């Protein structure tokens, strides 16, 4: 089931979100972890970009990293699914391969 | 399913090792197999037993050691990256004329081939880094 | 043993951090395992291949000649993303002229660097079994 991409950097600090969106194929999935979770929040300058990409890829965000950073579920963009570490494991298992955008 | 794990950053400076640990623990709880955890770049610094973090914080190296003991995990520190950064086991210390070793329980030092082998043998290789 | 597709994704510039050098060390060791190996140079990773690197005044090891040796290890698919080059005002002429001898074509010398568009690279990435990034 296509490729899983993990992004662990804030979109305001690094270009990993942009590079991932440029190079990820349709039908893949993106999991936002660590500082990457900020890309999942509402009202940011990258929110439109992330929402547009949801048309061709599924988006997930790691709940424990949100909670650690004081981000509650109501601040997460509609259409992004919150997963825990077990969900992270399931996503890796369900996809054909995984790429970490370090 | 069989997972290989690559950790490219040391403890504390980056979250990479924490995330890799939580992922590994969750995978084991779900009944998956961890073929190997390979530590590279500054990730080799996870393998020193000399770290003394404050008591109210987690001790990442100890967490890895305990997980390794419980699940018989293969924790491998890259020898080339470890030599650069002063992570030594008793054999390495002797070979290089150093006065002590610092490898933590459950970790072993070996070559980069162990990483490639993990890529070949595991169903998925998951990379954690900066 | 089955052959897997290994791709090393390089997105970081050399010298400022150790990732480029230690990634190259993995590629060299990995070459002995006879897998299907390729390298991708994306974002600041394209700077790893710049011509004329001279580290004499920074006191660090210049590892750029090692890229030239990759051909001898049968590592000859070095994909460089066109968009990343253009964003940085570079063309393939700014990069080292890396080559390999094609044993299937009378050992003719051929370029190892293949400039590909994002679209092409994303298709190649998608086919990989193992994607290593540092």
pLDDT, tens digit, 9 for 90 and up, residues C53-81: 999 999 999 999 999 999 999 999 999 99
Of chain C, the percentage scoring pLDDT greater than 90 comes to 99
- pLDDT score recorded for residue B38: 98
Read off the pLDDT of each residue in C109-117 and give the average, rounded to a whole number.
97
Cα–Cα distance for residue pair C15/C19, rounded to 1 Å: 8
Tokens of A80: 């992004």
Q: What is the mean pLDDT of chain B?
A: 97
Q: Which residues of C are less than 8 Å from B81 in CB distance?
A: 22
CATH match for B2-50+57-128 among 3.10.150.10, 3.40.1260.10, 3.40.50.1360, 3.40.640.10: 3.40.1260.10
Nearest to B120 among C1, C19, C26 (CB): C1
Evaluate whether B97 touches B11 at the Cβ level (below 8 Å). no
The ipTM of this complex is 0.97
- Contact (CB<8Å) B19/A34: yes
Angle between helices C19-30 and B113-121 (to 10 degrees): 70
Would you call C26 and B125 a contact, using CB atoms and an 8 Å cutoff? no
Q: Domain range spanning residue A75?
A: 3-101
| Cβ B79 vs Cβ B111: under 8 Å | yes
Q: What percent of chain C has pLDDT over 70?
A: 99
C5-133 sits in which CATH class? alpha beta
Q: Most C CBs within 10 Å: which of B116, B126, B128, as the mutation test of the C interface?
A: B116
* DSSP code, position A41: B
Question: Which of C2, C25, C35 is closest, CB to CB, to B112?
Answer: C25
pLDDT tens, residue by residue, C23-44: 999 999 999 999 999 999 999 9
Residue A1 has pLDDT above 90, yes or no: no
The CA-CA-CA angle for residues C48, C54, C57, to 5°, reads 125
Contact C132 B113 (CB under 8 A): no
Q: How far apart are the first and last CA of chain A?
A: 22
Number of structural domains chain A divides into: 1
CB neighbours of residue B110 within 10 Å: 17
The tens digit of pLDDT for each residue in A4-41 reads 999 999 999 999 999 999 999 999 999 999 999 999 99
The answer to whether C9 and C131 have CB atoms below 8 angstroms apart is yes
Instruction: Report the residue from C125, C129, C130 with minimal CB separation from A23.
Output: C125
């Amino acid at each position: 089931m296509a490729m899983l991409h993990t992004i662990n950097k804030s979109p305001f600090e690094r270009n990993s979100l942009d590079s991932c969106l440029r190079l990820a194929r349709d039908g893949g999935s993106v999991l936002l972890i660590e500082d990457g979770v900020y890309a999942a929040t509402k009202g940011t300058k990258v929110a439109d970009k992330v929402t547009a990409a949801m048309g061709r890829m599924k988006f997930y965000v790691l709940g424990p990293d949100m909670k650690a950073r004081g981000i509650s579920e109501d601040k997460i963009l509609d259409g992004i699914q919150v997963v825990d570490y077990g969900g992270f494991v399931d996503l890796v298992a369900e996809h054909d391969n995984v790429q970490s955008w370090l | 399913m069989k997972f290989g794990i690559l950790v490219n950053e040391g403890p504390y400076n980056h979250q990479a090792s924490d995330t890799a640990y939580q992922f590994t623990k969750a995978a084991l709880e779900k009944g998956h197999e961890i073929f190997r955890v390979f530590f590279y770049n500054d990730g080799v610094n996870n393998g020193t037993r000399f770290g003394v973090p404050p008591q109210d914080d987690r001790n990442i190296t100890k967490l890895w050691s305990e997980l390794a003991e419980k699940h018989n995990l293969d924790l491998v520190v890259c020898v080339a990256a470890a030599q650069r950064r002063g992570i030594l086991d008793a054999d390495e210390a002797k070979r290089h004329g150093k006065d002590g070793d610092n490898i933590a329980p459950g970790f072993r030092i070996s070559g980069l081939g162990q990483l490639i082998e993990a890529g070949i043998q595991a169903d998925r290789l998951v990379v954690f880094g900066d | 043993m089955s052959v897997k597709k290994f791709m090393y994704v390089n997105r970081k510039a050399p010298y400022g951090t150790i990732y480029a050098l230690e990634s190259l060390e993995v590629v060299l060791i990995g070459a002995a395992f006879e897998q299907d190996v390729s390298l991708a140079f994306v974002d600041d990773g394209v700077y790893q291949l710049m011509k004329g690197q001279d580290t004499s005044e920074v006191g660090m090891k210049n590892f750029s000649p090692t890229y030239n040796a990759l051909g001898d290890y049968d590592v000859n698919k070095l994909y460089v993303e066109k968009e990343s080059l253009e964003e940085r005002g570079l063309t393939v002429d700014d990069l080292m002229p890396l080559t390999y001898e094609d044993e299937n074509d009378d050992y003719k010398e051929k370029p190892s660097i293949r400039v590909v568009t994002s679209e092409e690279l994303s298709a190649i990435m998608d086919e990989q079994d193992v994607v290593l990034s540092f």
